């Protein structure tokens, strides 16, 4: 049965925040692999929520850099998050596909998590500004 994904930005932000909460829990448990994967998922959902708030047509992709490319067209200031997006895109691949690469360290994921919290606040604020203008 095909899955129908929401086109409402707030639905995506809601799940992104839940994923960020899961990242914090996984880090406390020292489950670095799942924390890294959840971090990628949170950023992906934040970007999709933001893009949907701009009128973007939902696309199925897990590549956070591709989503950031689209988001930067609406707000060039998001470009400063490219290193974070590049980093977490790799987390998705390492967690979901058999590779010979070593996963990230817990300190690396903690740092990325802190940056991701600021990123999530920023894209939600931008989406809110769009709604207030619209």
User: What is the SS3 string spanning 56-87?
Assistant: CCCCCCCCHHHHHHHHHCCCHHHHHHHHHHHH
103: left (phi over 0), alpha (psi -120 to 50) or beta: beta
pLDDT-based confidence at residue 8 (cuts at 50, 70, 90): confident
Round to whole Å and give the CA distance between 110 and 131: 32
pLDDT-based confidence at residue 1 (cuts at 50, 70, 90): very low
CB distance 61 to 67 below 8 Å: yes
pLDDT digits (tens, 9 = 90+) for 61-103: 778 999 999 999 999 999 999 999 999 988 866 555 555 567 7
CB distance 42 to 116 below 8 Å: yes
CB distance 114 to 84 below 8 Å: no
pLDDT-based confidence at residue 40 (cuts at 50, 70, 90): very high
Kindly tell me if the per-residue pLDDT of 115 is higher than 60: yes
Angle at 77 between CA 27 and CA 56, to 5 degrees: 85
Residue 129: per-residue pLDDT? 83
HSE-CB at 55 with a 13 A cutoff on CA atoms is 5
């Amino acid at each position: 049965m095909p899955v129908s994904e929401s086109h409402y930005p707030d639905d995506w932000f809601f799940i992104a925040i839940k994923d960020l909460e899961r990242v914090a829990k996984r880090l406390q448990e020292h489950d670095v692999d799942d924390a890294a994967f959840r971090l990628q998922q949170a950023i992906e959902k934040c970007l999709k929520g933001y893009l949907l708030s701009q009128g973007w047509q939902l696309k199925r992709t897990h590549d956070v850099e591709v989503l950031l490319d689209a988001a930067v067209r609406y707000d060039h200031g998001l470009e400063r998050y490219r290193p974070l997006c590049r980093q977490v895109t790799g987390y998705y691949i390492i967690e979901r596909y058999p590779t010979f690469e070593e996963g990230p360290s817990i300190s690396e994921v903690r740092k990325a998590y802190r940056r991701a919290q600021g990123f999530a606040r920023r894209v939600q604020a931008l989406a809110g500004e769009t709604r207030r203008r619209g």
